[in-house]
Structure 1
């Protein structure tokens, strides 16, 4: 745990630090840039060798060939039908590309990559010896981690070759200056002694508020990148051929992805927080499932949900442990999302992390 589990108040859940007793305060410290999170539910894979960037470019959704040292991006690996199989953040240091992945997907991704090497000048190595520290730029955490290899989450802006489906003037990702430092375990321990620590609950609440999809939460065997607005950061629509590209182009050009991501503001009067997987209803009809849920330090109980394209855009109900929870819906991906859709008058949202 590189020192983070031994800090006062640490509460562990499934082997990772969930919080330190004050999740709301931890969120506020994170937003200010003055706290770090040990991302114990993520890991890193090193891709080394002269062909690493062109090799990754050949089968992923992102254009990586010209990725400069220190530049960050994000990529998806799709199946032949365009469904999301793997997702990773990527940063190159000039000699190796480092893939930041959800720990639950790491072994499967590493095995898949190994089968793709063939004669390419590429080597692969998992690094359980490295710690991943998450923080927001602009505060004490960034100062403490100066000089570290950093992945800057590209979700903050629509990337080159990407496309945003959300029809909002002020996207909640604006200002989501999320960084992940890849450090040796000893270095992580020293950071834990010098900067405030926050738990994963705080980081997840801020991710959900920013509408940021994640492999471990929003992805299932049916997931298309269009459904979660992942075209925004992880797909380059103008790059060459890769597995699943035909589906990406078809759904983007014709529009109407089969499902869509929505943000839910949950009624907190019953003090019941639904678990991921809880069903979402419009009247008596089940229209989707909650994928991520948290208590936000400003907005209270919030969630992301994957809904049927035909789900109405009004208020919904989330059912959890026999309790019906009212949910005000904010559309993220419209039902007719696609390249040719006329963007309606933009709905303004207050910026938040």
Structure 2
């Protein structure tokens, strides 16, 4: 489904309010968020799309061209990958689940056509076929409650394995690395799952309680979870978002952009860092993505230190946002965002610390000028 299309089933529900990407809410976004958080509601993800990669070479091929080690991915196992450019910048992102015959990529809808085109161009002699599956829809939920049970009954399984992607964000995956120093990472409770459902089967879910995209976004932001369509820009490298946790395998073979990944992680620091902001002021005022972040009290436009990437009203935390900040911004600095002429104060919660990277223990060689002079030979 292209961005902007909406599932007829959920759009027809009472109170449905539509946005550019789907149903924003069904009349009470805060209540929907609470129900979603405990597994009692399902989100129609019209802002997500499904790409099928079929063929016997699919896993080794994807392993060779993306950031994740997927060559031995078992049927039903979930992971996440990034496609990087030669300079290590993020071009595409996808959730991954394999069913033993095809690999299924769950992507933001705005990225589906671009990623499918790039994958098709990269086939060369590999025995793979790439297709955007417009006949399939994505429904999302938190695991472990009645909503999951109802959706699972309708999940597509063309090759005998239910197509449910379990978001790996709850923990650092094999080969990954976490920059966040938070003792209790909020992602540990983010038991998010996305199910692939045939559109023809959606009619059997009339009694499932829905939640809108606003509820899903608020819970994602609170979990510090980056997203391609929100956080990624033309400068993005995965280190800036702590995306090495789940989307990059640091010990796998060579792939495009790997040199930058290794250099920044081992020897350097990412130039920017993701932070969560707790926003002061009226709950009804939220900064739009792209809003400038400045140091508190700064009047000069040149004092901009970052940009808002996502914002939402959380049912417990109140107004929150994710922002991409310059590395030089102190972690305890007071910040401000200007919205419609009103300055909103913002307190940081550090996700990626300023000293992230430079993890390798490279021995320092003594400079020649500092070496002791050798004794002159005896005469």
Partner of 1:275: 288
Distance 2:130 2:23 in 1: 28
Q: Mapping of 1:20-31 within 5 angstroms?
A: 20-31=26-37
Task: Specify the SS of the correspondent of 1:246.
Answer: helix
Partner of 2:184: 170
Q: 2:330 aligns with which of 307, 312, 324?
A: 312
Q: 2:348 aligns with which of 312, 315, 329?
A: 329
Q: Structure 1: where are the runs of 5+ without partners?
A: 343-353
Distance 1:258 1:25 in 2: 39
Q: 2:231 aligns with which of 213, 218, 223?
A: 218
Partner of 2:213: 200
Q: Mapping of 1:44-59 within 5 angstroms?
A: 44-59=50-65
Find out whether 1:287 has 2:339 as its counterpart.
no
Q: Mapping of 1:69-108 within 5 angstroms?
A: 69-108=75-114
TM-score (norm 2): 0.88
Q: Deviations over 1:251-275 (max 9, x none)?
A: 0002421000000000133732111
Which consecutive aligned stretches of 4+ in structure 1 deviate over 3 angstroms post-superposition?
none
Whether the aligned pair in 2 keeps the contact of 1:4 and 1:189 (CA below 8 Å) is no
Specify whether residues 20 and 67 from structure 1 end up closer, same or farther in structure 2 by C-alpha distance, changes over 3 A only. Answer: same
Distance 1:155 1:77 in 2: 18
TM-score (norm 1): 0.94
Distance 2:358 2:197 in 1: 40
Whether the aligned pair in 2 keeps the contact of 1:267 and 1:326 (CA below 8 Å) is yes
The structural deviation recorded for 1:339 is: 5.1
The structural deviation recorded for 1:341 is: 8.6
The structural deviation recorded for 1:15 is: 5.1
Distance 2:141 2:221 in 1: 15
Aligned residues: 341
Partner of 2:49: 43
Q: 1:157 aligns with which of 161, 167, 171?
A: 171
Task: Specify the SS of the correspondent of 2:33.
Answer: helix
Distance 2:306 2:174 in 1: 31
Whether the aligned pair in 1 keeps the contact of 2:267 and 2:360 (CA below 8 Å) is no
Task: Specify the SS of the correspondent of 1:262.
Answer: strand
Whether the aligned pair in 2 keeps the contact of 1:292 and 1:305 (CA below 8 Å) is yes
Partner of 1:228: 241
Task: Specify the SS of the correspondent of 1:198.
Answer: coil
The structural deviation recorded for 1:190 is: 1.8
Point out the structure with max Rg over C-alpha.
2
Partner of 1:301: 319
Find out whether 1:183 has 2:197 as its counterpart.
yes
Distance 1:271 1:28 in 2: 18
Aligned alpha-carbon RMSD (Å)? 1.3
Distance 1:175 1:2 in 2: 31
Q: 1:128 aligns with which of 103, 127, 134?
A: 134
The structural deviation recorded for 1:311 is: 1.2
Q: Structure 2: where are the runs of 5+ without partners?
A: 1-6, 156-162, 362-379
Find out whether 1:254 has 2:271 as its counterpart.
no
Find out whether 1:14 has 2:20 as its counterpart.
yes
